[in-house]
Amino acid sequence: MAQYTPPLRDMQFVLHELIDVVSAFKEIPAYAEVDADTVNAVLEEGGKFAAEVLFPLNISGDAEGCTLDKATHEVTPPKGFKEAYAKYVEGGWPALSCDPAFGGQGLPHTVNQCFYEMLNSANQAWTMYPGLSHGAYEALQAHGTPEQKALYLPKLTSGEWTGTMCLTEPHCGTDLGMLRSKAEPQADGSYKITGQKIFISAGEHDMAANIVHLVLARLPDAPQGSKGISLFIVPKFIANADGTLGERNAIHCGALEHKMGIHGNATCQMILDGAIGSLVGQPNKGLNAMFVMMNAARLGVGNQSLGLTEVAYQNAVAYAKDRIQMRSLSGPKSPDQPADPIIVHPDVRKMLLTARAYAEGGRALIIHTVAQLDLALHHPDEDVRKEADDEVALLTPIIKAFITDNGWIATSHCMQVYGGHGYIHEWGMEQYVRDARINMIYEGTNTVQSLDLLGRKILGDNGKKLKAFGKKIATFVEDEGTNEAMQEFVNPLAELGDKVTKLTTELGMKAFGNADEVGAAAVDYLRVVGHLTFAYFWARMAKVALEKQGSGDPFYTAKLATARFYFAKLLPETASLIRTARSGVAPLMAMDEALF
């Protein structure tokens, strides 16, 4: 039935042939010894773990879901999840990109992100348990005190403890300035935290000995709004200074959310009733610290949809090659059979190629961005760090929104390839659609990402970040301007770059007169810029494929065919998006609320 093969060849293509990450790593002292063989070996073993340990638990975990004992408030994940996590810890996988000072292996984030793509393909619901721990680790590494780091980071690194982020409350989601959870200072320097949090992924389970909750709450004298939020560590079990566990803290799961998808992950309503916590960072500056975790999560969510797109594509291709229905319109292709495999039909191919183009384009964008993140975090040159950090800031909302939108499109197409079987649970395809749908919502809805991109990341700095990325595109176009073989790729790329520049200027001018113009155009605008980034990476991939197609390796033939499909069938969507972005706010706001 369902199957999964880690896409190691395509990962290696992006890592080594397209981006040449090893050369970039050599500029970072901590990664200078990381070579291509090491990267490939780690990912090969990671792929085995994903395919052999996690993938077999995906459909069964979805069917079983999680169980809450209302008397003890303990949550049991699906059968096999705890044992898989034990193997994950035993293999040292939680430590892959963590700091050696805390027991980590010190490999680049780029390698870890590729590993996580495979985990997400294999079992997104399971992967969310350790995935959130990485975000907690990074937030504490950036903002924790030396004592907090010494206590919590080794345990998060080893995987002995997991982590969560507790933001959302019943009355507020994205608008965190409205949160009501309270933190009362205690004489010993700790805080007692009271409140309710909802939608907390991996909020309660028995897979690890302790859960480190990072909780947003208000101090008694905090100012109103987002400037009055502080961040606290609230562990499930209060930890002693030596890392041993003490008494159970006053934080528990009150209920499990009944969800459309990701059934194998415990999405909890968490109750805090005077739970003991410790302050992270400065009072009333909690959002600054939490944004470390939130930005990591936004990259991670884009990676979740990439993983789902890849595995849905693989299964749909296998089905399309095997399932026979009708004859090709141009004549029988398998005359020895009563009908042709459905892969001969043009629209089936369109659906498959859409998923493939979005998977391979998304992989290139994510790997590039996380390679930039490695530079931003560790490069010795401050100017390089700043430039890379700006690019990561620009591309993060695109990764979160564009790739998750594409994941929804792709998984829906792949389910459609199966016809009626796609709607049946045991084939696995409808689960990918259900799981993909959450990725467009959580960690900031895709509308919020679009507002962030256009309002804050682009108009907020007068287009500085966009211009810097646009300069890379312009340089590539100029370099390939006389290459006849590349004209089918660089000409539409250059044309779209010009259109984005004009559209950005136009929207900026409109926003001066009415800020709602940003809200009216943002979603369409992000999708246009998303296509600009994909077109850039697809043009670069086409260049490599053209140079190497003489090798006889069918990989490059397929890469070139997919690039041509993307430019011919998917990129033209930008024409309608630009038109709707320009249509303005009036059609949206003209109707009186009473008429809705």
294 falls in which pLDDT band (50, 70, 90)?
A: confident
List the structure tokens of 97: 């990109």
Q: Given CA atoms 249, 254, 257, 263 in this order, what sign does their dihedral have?
A: positive
Options 204, 391, 443, 517, the catalytic residue: 443
Distance CA 306, CA 410 (A): 10
Distance CA 556, CA 546 (A): 7
Cβ atoms 230, 222 nearer than 8 A: yes
Average pLDDT over residues 442-453: 97
C-alpha distance from residue 39 to each of 11, 43, 347, 364 (Å): 10, 6, 38, 16
- Spell out a b/e string for 228-264, using b for 16 or more CB atoms within 10 Å of the CB, else e: bbbbbbbbbbbbeeeeeeeeebbbbbbebbebebbbb
- Spell out a b/e string for 50-85, using b for 16 or more CB atoms within 10 Å of the CB, else e: bbebbbbbbbebbebbbebeeeebebbbbebbeebb
What number of CA atoms fall less than 13 Å from residue 109's CA on the CB side? 23
Distance CA 188, CA 203 (A): 27
| Residue in the structure block whose two tokens are 């929804």 | 408
Q: What percent of the chain has pLDDT over 70?
A: 100
Cβ atoms 342, 324 nearer than 8 A: yes
Tell me, what's the pLDDT at 290? 80
Average model confidence (pLDDT) for the chain? 97
Tell me, what's the pLDDT at 291? 82
Is the pLDDT at 486 greater than 90, yes or no? yes
Is the pLDDT at 295 greater than 90, yes or no? no
Cβ neighbours around 356 below 10 Å, total = 24
Task: From 45, 40, 63, 54, select the one nearest 4 (Cα to Cα).
Answer: 54
Angle at 538 between CA 395 and CA 37, to 5 degrees: 85
Average pLDDT over residues 449-470: 97
Is the pLDDT at 288 greater than 90, yes or no? no
User: What is the pTM for the complete model shown?
Assistant: 0.98
Task: Characterize the bridge pairing of strands 191-201 and 67-69.
Answer: unpaired
Contacts of 513 (CB under 8 A, 6+ apart): none
| Residue in the structure block whose two tokens are 């004992």 | 69
SS3 labels along 277-344: EEEECCCCEHHHHHHHHHHHHHHHHHHHHHHHHHHHHHHHHHHHHHCECCCCCCCCCCCCCCCCEHHH
Distance CA 239, CA 249 (A): 10
Burial class (CB in 10 A: 0-12, 13-18, 19+), 501: middle
Reported as a single tens digit per residue, the pLDDT across 26-65 is: 999 999 999 999 999 999 999 999 999 999 999 999 999 9
Beta bridge partners of 235: 212
List the structure tokens of 433: 């659609």
Q: 222 in helix, strand or coil?
A: coil
Q: Maximum CA pair distance of the chain?
A: 84
Architecture of domain 8-143: Orthogonal Bundle (1.10)
Distance CA 83, CA 379 (A): 38
Q: 381 in helix, strand or coil?
A: coil
Cβ atoms 287, 167 nearer than 8 A: no
Residues in the chain: 596
Task: From 7, 575, 113, select the one nearest 365 (Cα to Cα).
Answer: 113
Element (H, E) at 55: none
Q: Which amino acid is at 206?
A: D
Cβ atoms 227, 216 nearer than 8 A: no
Tell me, what's the pLDDT at 289? 82
CA of residue 392 relative to chain centroid, distance = 13
Tell me, what's the pLDDT at 293? 79
Distance CA 405, CA 530 (A): 10
Reported as a single tens digit per residue, the pLDDT across 68-91 is: 999 999 999 999 999 999 999 999
Reported as a single tens digit per residue, the pLDDT across 558-588 is: 999 999 999 999 999 999 999 999 999 999 9
List the structure tokens of 588: 């949206």
Cβ atoms 21, 43 nearer than 8 A: no
Is the pLDDT at 174 greater than 90, yes or no? no
Angle at 205 between CA 203 and CA 210, to 5 degrees: 85
Tell me, what's the pLDDT at 176? 86
Contacts of 586 (CB under 8 A, 6+ apart): none
402 falls in which pLDDT band (50, 70, 90)?
A: very high
Q: Given CA atoms 569, 575, 577, 578 in this order, what sign does their dihedral have?
A: positive
User: Annotated catalytic, 90?
Assistant: no
What number of CA atoms fall less than 13 Å from residue 259's CA on the CB side? 31
List the structure tokens of 126: 């399971």
Q: 275 in helix, strand or coil?
A: strand
Tell me, what's the pLDDT at 306? 98
Average pLDDT over residues 197-226: 96
Q: Report the topology of domain 162-284.
A: Butyryl-CoA Dehydrogenase, subunit A; domain 2 (2.40.110)
